[in-house]
Amino acid sequence: MTFSIEPRNLWTDQRHHTGNRLLKLADTPSETDLMSYSDQAVEVLPADEFNDQLVNHVHPPDWQNPTPSGKYNLVAIGGGTAGLISSIATAGLGGKSALIERHLLGGDCLNVGCVPSKALIRAARVAHTVREAGEFGVHASPAGGVMFGEVMQRMRRLRAGISRHDSAQSFTDAGVDVFLGQATFTGPNTLEVGTQKLQFAKAAICNGARPARLPVEGFDEVGYLTNETLFSLTELPKSLIIIGSGPIGSEMAQAFRRFGAQVHIIDKADRIMSRAEPEASAVVQSQFETEGIHLHLNSKVIRAELTSDGKRVVVERDGQQHAIDGEEILLAVGRTPNVDDLGLNAAGVETTERGVQVNDYLQTTNPHIFAAGDIAGSYQFTHAADAMARICIRNALFFGRGKLSKLVVPNCTYTDPEVAQIGLTPAQAEQQGIAIDSYRQDLSSVDRAILDGETDGFAVIHTKRGKSEIVGATIVASHAGEMIGEVSLLMTKGLPVSALADTIHCYPTQVEVLKRIGDAYNKQKLTPFVAGLFRRLLAWRRS
């Protein structure tokens, strides 16, 4: 039996994706098959040389699990970022380390998340640039266009190349015992993979999360895409209905619109990207409307149904029901932690609806078992999983006292413009009773942004009222994800906002907007009294 990326939607995808076959089944699976898919051969569709390379790296069909001997210093369960870092760091420090993955090493980030999505976003930006080239005096050939199949092939080729870094063989070569299969705890310090038993001094649960389902009438029967099946498409849907306007929904909405699809976004909130600062989401929302993305906000999803031409989602807004038709549906309504089938009760590990229960040291209710990444229920970002894994290593192996609460974690939604945030928003600061001062600069006054034609954005930094300590920031810019790193460094090292004014930036660059914020902070310190002293001093120097 062979499975593709998302076993939980095998029924619906096989039945309704006739134009874009996502999954291949030798027979109809039973519920038992679905829950034990990791023990079967894995096939990522479409079947081509690049996906063959991917699978050969991250779940080799001929892989033989090692024979465990003795007790492991640390066993990492889940081969995503947190598990990869935990296992290879343990081995690199001289410990005996094991890594267990039931599906594809590299986790969501490599296979169905960061890597494939950013490849599509880059291609979509190029398409948009070509389309808007006349503004720069460059006139592209009207015969050109987006070849979606080539876009997806490029993504698969690049993903396969990157997968070498996460391959089973590379981790074995680094001293990690790599097991492919389902891990199940059998006690507080033991677990099984198939018929093999492993003992450990410490363990790290890094099992990640999967797309949340929408418990609404008709969706299972109609069928839908998630991030776990979207990247297996080979043909561009003529129209795409996206439910949810968080990072995945917003990024893919803009990308598929730029590829040429008609795109609808449905969200129950009154604006897209509702967790971002209102001004930031307003900039992106305006861009979406300019590009022709249809927004259905303040809308509750009632049901889904098949039509003669495709699929329909019925929503309710202001007491009235409306039908939205499209060829495909993309569900992007959050994540569900992968806590099933791990035998956590046997290990004495408790869970909540957000995932494995951990304390500030990332320790579970079993003091010998830690958790990191999406399953720990805090920051669901690849870079956060990396940072959490490093805390696990210090605390589990070296009596460290690293704390989750001490992490300064930026995040970025890779729309165009990008929205990057770190720390507190004004609303969060108010909820916590923290008075703040805010310093804002628009990109419309930054030379490089003007020259690039990218003036629809801004940067704002929030400090504690009357102080230089940074508590949060938002940047809306073409490359905000790169720019936020400078603020992250200041916050991590406890440096004042005034340090931005003291830092020499290349001219012309868009990151100069941060230097201007530093200047603005210094300028407000120039009180009338201090200004008067300066004037008298300078007048005296002239005499």
Is position 45 within any domain? no
Q: How far apart are CA 210 and CA 335, in angstroms?
A: 5
Relative orientation angle of helices 480-493 and 512-524, to the nearest 10 degrees: 40
3-state secondary structure of 157: helix
Q: Which of 283, 308, 333 is the last residue of a domain?
A: 333
Task: State the pLDDT at residue 39.
Answer: 52
Q: 161 and 118: one domain?
A: yes
Q: 77 and 140: one domain?
A: yes
In this predicted structure, the answer to whether residue 30 has a pLDDT above a threshold of 90 is no
In this predicted structure, the answer to whether residue 528 has a pLDDT above a threshold of 90 is no
Q: Which of 293, 316, 333 is the last residue of a domain?
A: 333
> Which tokens is 125 given?
């930006």
**What's the pLDDT tens digit per position in 162-177?**
999 999 999 999 999 9
Task: State the pLDDT at residue 1.
Answer: 30
Least confident of 13-27, 154-168, 439-453: 13-27
430: phi then psi, degrees, rounded to nearest 5:
-65, -40
Q: 205 and 342: one domain?
A: yes
Confidence band, pLDDT 50/70/90 cuts, at residue 540: confident
Q: 76 and 196: one domain?
A: yes
Bridge partner list, 337: 209
Query: Rounded to two decimals, what is the model's pTM?
Result: 0.91
Is position 18 within any domain? no
Task: State the pLDDT at residue 271.
Answer: 98
Confidence band, pLDDT 50/70/90 cuts, at residue 525: confident
Is position 504 within any domain? yes
In this predicted structure, the answer to whether residue 370 has a pLDDT above a threshold of 70 is yes
In angstroms, the first-to-last Cα distance of the chain is 93
Task: State the pLDDT at residue 143.
Answer: 62
**What's the pLDDT tens digit per position in 52-61?**
999 999 999 9
**What's the pLDDT tens digit per position in 436-470?**
999 999 999 999 999 999 999 999 999 999 999 99
DSSP string, 131-170: HTGGGGT----TT----HHHHHHHHHHHHHHHGGGG-HHH
CA 44 from centroid of its chain's CA atoms:
21
Task: State the pLDDT at residue 118.
Answer: 98
Confidence band, pLDDT 50/70/90 cuts, at residue 23: very low
In this predicted structure, the answer to whether residue 186 has a pLDDT above a threshold of 80 is yes
Relative orientation angle of helices 148-162 and 49-58, to the nearest 10 degrees: 30
Task: State the pLDDT at residue 95.
Answer: 97
Q: How far apart are CA 415 and CA 125, in angstroms?
A: 10
- The answer to whether 449 and 441 have CB atoms below 8 angstroms apart is no
Segment 146-173 shows an average pLDDT of 98
**What's the pLDDT tens digit per position in 78-91?**
999 999 999 999 99
**What's the pLDDT tens digit per position in 379-397?**
889 999 999 999 999 999 9
**Structural domain harbouring 437:** 417-524
Query: Which residue's entry shows tokens 């600062």?
Result: 277
Mean per-residue pLDDT of the chain:
91
> Which tokens is 334 given?
């959050």
3-state secondary structure of 347: helix
CATH of the domain at 452: 3.30.390.30
Q: 312 and 444: one domain?
A: no
Relative orientation angle of helices 247-259 and 278-291, to the nearest 10 degrees: 20
Q: 160 and 58: one domain?
A: yes
Helix, strand, coil content of the chain in percent (nearest 5): 40, 25, 40
Q: How far apart are CA 331 and CA 311, in angstroms?
A: 13
Of residues 24 and 426, more confidence is placed in: 426
Q: 376 and 432: one domain?
A: no
Number of domains in the chain: 3
In this predicted structure, the answer to whether residue 185 has a pLDDT above a threshold of 90 is yes
Confidence band, pLDDT 50/70/90 cuts, at residue 252: very high
> Which regions of 78-175 does DSSP assign to beta strands (E)?
97-101
> Which tokens is 129 given?
């640039």
In this predicted structure, the answer to whether residue 289 has a pLDDT above a threshold of 60 is yes
> Which tokens is 224 given?
């839908």
Is position 200 within any domain? yes
H and E: helices and strands count for the chain: 20, 25
Task: State the pLDDT at residue 142.
Answer: 64
Segment 139-144 shows an average pLDDT of 73
Q: 326 and 342: one domain?
A: no
In this predicted structure, the answer to whether residue 33 has a pLDDT above a threshold of 50 is no
Least confident of 216-220, 263-267, 330-334, 522-526: 522-526
Q: 356 and 282: one domain?
A: no
Q: 67 and 204: one domain?
A: yes
Q: Among candidates 530, 529, 531, 524, which has minimal Cα distance to 498?
A: 524
Segment 45-69 shows an average pLDDT of 96
Q: 206 and 235: one domain?
A: no
> Which regions of 320-426 does DSSP assign to beta strands (E)?
320-326, 328-331, 335-337, 351-352, 355-356, 369-371, 411-413, 418-423
Is position 21 within any domain? no
Is position 1 within any domain? no
Cβ-based neighbour number of residue 60 at 10 Å: 16
438: phi then psi, degrees, rounded to nearest 5:
-120, 135
Q: 321 and 292: one domain?
A: yes
CATH of the domain at 404: 3.50.50.60
Q: Which of 303, 333, 363 is the last residue of a domain?
A: 333
